[in-house]
Amino acid sequence: MLRSLYIQNYALIEELDIAFDEGFSVITGETGAGKSIILGAIGLLLGQRADTKSIRQGAAKCIIEARFYISPYKLQDFFEENELEYDDECIFRRELHASGKSRAFINDTPVSLPMMKELGEQLIDVHSQHQNLLLNKEDFQLGVLDVLAQNEEQLEKYRQTYKVWKELDKELKDVIEQAEKNKADEDYIRFQLEQLEAARLKDGELEELEEEAETLTHAEEIKNSLYKIDQIFNGDETGILSELKDGLNTLINVSKVYSKASELAERTDSCYIELKDIAMEVAGKVDEIEFNPERLEEVNERLNLIFSLQQKHHLQTVAELIALTNEYKTRLSEITSFDERIADLTQKRDQQFQKVIAKAAILTQKREKAAREVEKDMVARLIPLGMPNIRFVVEMNARKEPSPNGADAVAFLFSANKNSTLQNISAVASGGEIARVMLSVKAIIAKAAKLPTIIFDEIDTGVSGEIADRMADIMQEMGKQERQVISITHLPQIASRGKAHYFVYKQDNDTETNSHIRRLNDEERVEEIAHMLSGATLTEAALNNAKELLKQTR
């Protein structure tokens, strides 16, 4: 229940602080006095986007704060899940700064607008005239049935199942699309792979081949150089090894009489061993090196093959060519496995679809039962509202494909006259009829949903006289069902029914205009209702009529 509303520096409101009663209350005031401004402020508390133009001229920021009594409504889980402090009284606050910054709070804890909206929708419903257009929205009509059928838990289970089905269906479509694309490329991939595999590439072989080619190309030069070195080491008369061996023997002999020569002999021996090893390796390589034009041709052909593959695939190394080969293998493997994947996904999707259908059937069954209740209840409510020949039918048809809300297509069909056929309600109902239908729908929803507070913004537009009395009866009855109902109205019949009566008005001073709201006492109520009956000039008859209206209400 909305206990109080505080507004500071919002549009024409400098400061407003008003408490609200439980039950049925009314708000009246001249057109342009500020009733829509108050509703706009409440809308900000329900998560609507802010506009800095709404801030009162010259003010740095505006504040809107509402206090709700929430103890009876079992909202503790919401507060725990969102790490909010819970109390029997809940405070909503929005702050709009001239800089464009906007802040939202629940019980002094900063929150996001979606969170504020989610909680706000469980506390208050503001019904403005444009909401009558919802009657033509299938989602709204379906929502009416779900509220009456208490389908919240079942609908959530269905949506989870539906979500999995749609995900599987999308995955299957993606795989089929990829399979078709890959199959279109299969011949090309297979040809490229066969060419790469035929090359039998090995990582590092390019460097080895280039070195071998260099050696084969300069074989004669290399062989002559190695032979020359071999002669230097092993020549019969002047070979380094022979001379070094003689020097080593001399040092060994002299070391017998000159001890310091022993160390020199050891060092010379090490050099001799190393040089002898080098000489043997050089001699071996002299025999190895041979000019082999056939092998050179083979190496060059291999190099040309590798270079052509690199150029063709725009790659720099053999390792990259090997990686491309493996990639082509993987893609071919995927192509050949697509049929299996498609079959597996198709089976999973179809099995999930059957679960969707089964859960949708439960929703349909409960909705059909609720639809018959809506038809009966709406007729019972609309006949007293001046529609003695009313026919109201909830038409339910199966969708071609399930939607996030189930497998049902719903339409509210309406006829107010004996000689007219049933048609979609928005196509045949007048403005006054739409208002009465919407009030009846809201009354049905409110009873099932146990919504704490409902605000009707001129839902009585287009009606008068006895019909207004009957609409007042409905709102007054709604206010007796542990619910707070507030009606913004221009009709005295409805204004007289309120347990509390609030008056919105404007005051001018030398520099500005301010909107205010105050609760009327008994005498002020008589005058306000009399004004609503007779206009600006108060007549004795109007005052008496106003008193009579208020007396009937009491």
Long-range CB pairs of 350-356 (<8 Å, 24+ gap) are: 352/161, 352/164, 352/165, 352/168, 353/165, 355/161, 355/165, 356/158, 356/161, 356/162, 356/165, 356/402
Euclidean distance between CA atoms 239 and 219, whole angstroms? 25
With respect to residue 294, please indicate whether it lies within any of the assigned structural domains.
yes
Assigned domain for 526 exists: no
Q: pLDDT tens digits, residue range 210-268?
A: 887 877 777 777 878 877 887 787 776 677 887 888 888 888 888 888 888 888 888 98
Q: Which of 335, 356, 384 is a domain's end point? A: 335
144 vs 356, more confident: 356
**How far apart (Å, rounded) are the C-alpha atoms in residues 88 and 75?**
10
Residue 204 — φ and ψ, nearest 5°? 90, -10
**Whole-number pLDDT of residue 410:** 92
| pLDDT tier for residue 395 given thresholds of 50, 70 and 90 | very high
Q: Over the stretch 486-534, which tens digit does the pLDDT of each residue have?
A: 999 989 999 999 999 999 998 888 788 889 999 999 999 999 999 888 8
The reported pLDDT for the residue numbered 138 is 77
457: confidence class by pLDDT, cuts 50, 70, 90: confident
Q: Are 431 and 460 in contact (CB under 8 A)?
A: no
**Do residue 105 and residue 188 come from a single domain?**
no
In a domain, 256, yes or no: yes
Which one, of 385, 382, 539, 525, lies nearest residue 465 by Cα? 385
Q: Do both 216 and 331 map to the same domain? A: yes
Torsion of CA 133, 134, 139, 141, to 10 degrees: -110
Residue 183 has pLDDT above 80, yes or no: no
Cα–Cα distance, 480 to 299 (Å, whole number): 100
Same-domain status, 188 and 314: yes
Higher-confidence position of 146 and 241: 146
Percent of the chain whose pLDDT exceeds 70: 97
Average pLDDT value for residue range 316-330: 90
Is 11 in the same domain as 92?
yes
3-state secondary structure 102-131: EEEEECCEECCHHHHHHHHCCCEEEECHHH
Contact 485, 457 (CB under 8 A): no
Q: Does 272 lie in the same domain as 196?
A: yes
Q: Which residues contact 545 (CB under 8 A, 6 or more apart)?
A: 492, 530, 533
For residues 14-27, give the mean pLDDT. Answer: 92
Give the number of other CB atoms < 10 A from CB of residue 336: 11
Per-residue pLDDT band for 135 (boundaries 50, 70, 90) equals low
**Average pLDDT rounded to a whole number, residues 439-467:** 82
Residue 182 has pLDDT above 60, yes or no: yes
Cβ-based burial of 374 (10 A; exposed 0-12, middle 13-18, buried ≥19)? buried
β-strand pairing of 102-106 with 109-110: antiparallel
Residue 406 covered by a domain: no
Domain membership of residue 503 (yes or no) is yes
Residue 451: CB atoms within 10 A of its CB come to 21
Is 233 found in the same domain as 119? no
**Domain check: are 97 and 20 in the same one?**
yes
**For the segment 98-130, what is each residue's pLDDT rounded down to a tens digit?**
888 999 999 999 999 999 999 998 888 888 765
pLDDT at residue 132 is higher than 60: no
Q: Which of 295-299, 321-325, 345-349 has the lowest mean pLDDT?
A: 295-299
Q: Residue 8 corresponds to which tokens in the numbers above?
A: 């500071």
Q: Name the average pLDDT for the chain.
A: 87
Query: Would you say residue 195 has pLDDT above 70?
Result: yes
Token pair belonging to 240: 């380094």
- pLDDT the model gives residue 18: 93
Per-residue confidence (pLDDT) for residue 136, from 0 to 100: 64
Domain closes at, from 280, 314, 335: 335
Residue 248 within any structural domain of the chain: yes
Arithmetic mean of pLDDT, 410-417:
88
For 47-68, b/e burial (b = at least 16 CB within 10 A) is: bbebeeebbbeeeebbbbbbbb
Q: Look at residue 509 and give its three-state secondary structure.
A: coil
229/207 Cα distance (integer angstroms): 27
CA distance 422 to 379: 14
Give the residue from 315, 335, 355 where a domain finishes: 335
> Is the domain of 17 the same as that of 92?
yes
Answering whether pTM is above 0.75, one says: no
**Distances 34 to 5, 190, 431, 504 between C-alpha atoms, Å:** 14, 76, 24, 6
Domain match, 187 and 46 both? no
DSSP state of 132: G
For residue 219, with 0-12 CB atoms within 10 Å meaning exposed, 13-18 middle and 19 or more buried, which class applies? middle
Number of domains in the chain: 2
Of 2-6, 54-58, 77-81, the one with minimum mean pLDDT is: 54-58
Q: How many CB atoms lie within 10 A of CB 418?
A: 8
Distance CA 328, CA 59 (A): 68
If one counts every other C-beta atom within 10 angstroms of the C-beta of residue 278, the result is 13
| Range in 108-112, 184-188, 347-351 with the lowest mean pLDDT | 184-188
How is residue 300 written in tokens? 């060059």
Q: Is 538 within a domain?
A: no
pLDDT attached to residue 228? 82
Does residue 344 register a pLDDT over 90? yes
- Say yes or no to pLDDT of 39 above 60: yes
* Per-residue confidence (pLDDT) for residue 95, from 0 to 100: 93
Q: What is the pLDDT of residue 553?
A: 67
Instruction: Give pLDDT, residue 167.
Output: 96
Higher pLDDT, 28 or 295: 28
CATH classification of the domain holding 110:
3.40.50.300
Rounded CA separation 92/67 (Å): 6
pLDDT score recorded for residue 236: 65
Q: How far apart (Å, rounded) are the C-alpha atoms in residues 170 and 182?
A: 18
- Per-residue confidence band for 7, with pLDDT thresholds at 50, 70 and 90: very high
Do 105 and 199 lie in one domain? The reply is no
Same domain, 206 and 323: yes
CA 180/CA 185 separation, integer angstroms = 9
- Quote the pLDDT of residue 293: 80
Residue 448, pLDDT > 80, answer no
Strand order in the sheet with 453-457: 124-127, 453-457, 484-488, 24-28, 500-508, 513-519
pLDDT confidence tier of residue 349, bands split at 50, 70 and 90: very high
491, HSE (Cβ side, Cα atoms, 13 Å) = 21
C-alpha span between 97 and 418 (Å, rounded): 57
User: pLDDT per residue over 149-178, tens digit each?
Assistant: 989 899 999 999 999 999 999 999 999 988
Please tell me the predicted confidence (pLDDT) of residue 74. Answer: 84
- Percentage of residues in the chain with pLDDT exceeding 90? 33
Kindly state whether residue 314 falls inside one of the protein's structural domains. Answer: yes
Q: Of 489, 456, 470, which is closest to residue 131 (Cα–Cα)?
A: 456
Buried b (16+ CB within 10 A) or exposed e, 17-37: ebebbbbbbbbbbeeebbbbb
In a shared domain, residues 227 and 299: yes
Question: Domain limits at 327?
Answer: 181-335
DSSP letters of 322-369? HHHHHHHHHHHHHHHHHHHHHHHHHHHHHHHHHHHHHHHHHHHHHHHH
- Burial of 515 by CB count in 10 Å (0-12 exposed, 13-18 middle, 19+ buried)? buried
pLDDT value of position 112 = 92
State the residue for tokens 């090490």: 270
pLDDT in the model for residue 64: 95
